[in-house]
């Protein structure tokens, strides 16, 4: 149905028919494609290169936790750029050099103010001792839970597992995954859950992550917001045409549908199983400079979120550590 025909229908009082419904249906059918673009696993260009591996071997002894570190700008097997990358990965910030040809760094944990800002760094959550970590007790439902776990890890090189959702002890998950060629590459734990990142190959992250390009810049939460806006606008437009044609009940139904579907799209991550939510939360840290996390969106604790952020090279942003009772966490990419 053309725009001219719609206009003529409104002027003549002619019934519009199912045109707006069809348009709205097409938009709804497009939503899975939008989510697929924004939430797909994508490639991992930050996996460690052989040259970076040599640099790690040469430079790791320097960044051993001391307050100040002074490193030759270039050495055997590494350059100044790689030195800054390794320093950033270990939580060091570059400071004015002590001498020509030397790169100087300070341990970020000893700095009250982050370089380039005048905002004090907010304190992270206190560390949770391992004895306080969540772990699921042994269960009699082992065969059914193992089938669930097998479905999660079969056919994938990497996957995310929530111990709380798996309903199996962590040690049982590790042993079962090892039997199927996977191991725990990273884990994030507190008293609410343990999130395990399983992989068939070792995962080494080159930090800071490169800035994403194209569709990879679409973070999952942004994708959910975009989908919510599209659904709301579609419902509003359909309601507008029905109101103009005198079909008030249909107009109200379209408006209500737009509001409901947009709310569902906005809360989409929270509707997913806990393991899938953890995978989406990790994809929020995709290399963009700033990342804001609304904790209720994912239903994953602030402690685990902080651990994920640190793993992917993020630190607290400017004063955004605690807002609305720690329901919002703001992070910025740590740069060398």
What is the DSSP code string of 32-43? HHHHHHHH----
Residue 58: what pLDDT?
74
What percent of the chain is modeled with pLDDT above 90?
Answer: 21
What percent of the chain is modeled with pLDDT above 70?
Answer: 72
Does residue 51 register a pLDDT over 60? no
- Say whether pTM exceeds 0.85: no
* 23 band by pLDDT with thresholds 50, 70 and 90: low
| Own/partner pairs, 37-45, CB within 8 angstroms, 24+ separation | 37/215, 37/218, 37/223, 38/215, 38/218, 38/219, 38/220, 38/222, 38/223, 38/224, 38/226, 39/220, 39/223, 39/280, 39/283, 41/158, 41/283, 42/216, 42/283, 45/210
Does residue 227 register a pLDDT over 70? yes
Does residue 226 register a pLDDT over 60? yes
Does residue 189 register a pLDDT over 80? yes
CA dihedral (64, 86, 205, 61) in degrees, to 10, reads -30
Separation of alpha carbons 231 and 25, rounded Å: 10
Residue 87: what pLDDT?
77
Does residue 134 register a pLDDT over 60? yes
Residue 43: what pLDDT?
35
Separation of alpha carbons 86 and 122, rounded Å: 24
- Helix spans in 113-219 (H): 142-153, 163-166, 170-179
* End-to-end Cα distance, the chain: 56
Strand partners, 332: 290, 315
Averaged pLDDT, 155-175 = 93
Contact (Cβ atoms closer than 8 angstroms) between residue 290 and residue 227: no
Which helix (H) or strand (E) segment holds residue 314: the answer is strand 314-316
Mean pLDDT rounded to a whole number for the chain: 76
208 cis-preceded (ω within 30 degrees of 0)? yes
Separation of alpha carbons 213 and 72, rounded Å: 33
Does residue 280 register a pLDDT over 60? yes
CB neighbour list of residue 175: distance below 8 Å, 6 or more residues apart: none
Tokens of 99: 């001498």
Reported as a single tens digit per residue, the pLDDT across 295-313 is 888 999 988 998 899 889 8
Q: Where are the domains of the chain?
A: 7-28+222-266, 50-110, 130-199, 214-218+271-333
- Least confident range from 83-87, 178-182, 229-233, 249-253: namely 83-87
Helix 220-245 vs helix 19-39: crossing angle, to nearest 10: 180
Tell me the CA distances in angstroms from 6 to 113, 241, 247, one per residue in order: 60, 8, 14
Residue 40: what pLDDT?
43
Residue 298: what pLDDT?
92
């Amino acid at each position: 149905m053309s725009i001219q025909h719609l206009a003529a229908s409104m002027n003549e009082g002619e019934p519009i028919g199912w045109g707006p419904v069809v348009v709205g249906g097409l938009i709804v059918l497009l939503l899975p494609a939008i989510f697929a673009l924004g939430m797909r696993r994508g490639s991992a260009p930050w996996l460690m290169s052989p040259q970076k591996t040599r640099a790690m071997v040469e430079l790791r002894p320097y960044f051993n936790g001391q307050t100040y570190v002074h490193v030759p700008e270039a050495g055997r097997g590494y350059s100044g750029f790689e030195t800054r990358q390794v320093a950033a990965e270990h939580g060091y910030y570059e400071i004015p050099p002590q001498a020509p040809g030397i790169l100087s760094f300070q341990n970020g944990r000893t700095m009250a103010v982050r370089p380039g800002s005048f905002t004090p760094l907010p304190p992270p959550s206190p560390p949770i001792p391992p004895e306080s970590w969540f772990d699921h007790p042994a269960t009699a439902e082992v065969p059914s839970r193992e089938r669930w776990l097998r479905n999660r890890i079969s056919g994938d090189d990497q996957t995310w597992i929530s111990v709380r959702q798996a309903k199996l002890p962590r040690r049982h998950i590790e042993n079962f995954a090892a039997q199927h060629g996977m191991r725990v590459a990273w884990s994030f734990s507190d008293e609410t859950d343990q999130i395990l990142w399983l992989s068939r190959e070792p995962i080494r992250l080159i930090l800071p992550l490169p800035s994403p390009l194209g569709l990879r810049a679409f973070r999952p939460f942004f994708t959910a917001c975009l989908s919510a806006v599209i659904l709301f606008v579609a419902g509003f437009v359909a309601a507008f045409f029905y109101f103009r044609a005198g079909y008030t009940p249909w107009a109200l139904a379209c408006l209500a549908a737009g509001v409901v579907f947009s709310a569902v799209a906005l809360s989409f991550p929270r509707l997913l199983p806990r393991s899938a939510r953890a995978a989406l939360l990790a994809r929020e840290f995709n290399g963009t400079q700033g990342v804001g996390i609304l904790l209720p969106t994912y239903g994953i604790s602030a402690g685990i979120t902080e651990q994920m952020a640190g793993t992917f090279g993020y630190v607290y942003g400017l004063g955004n550590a605690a807002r609305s009772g720690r329901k919002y966490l703001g992070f910025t990419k740590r740069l060398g």
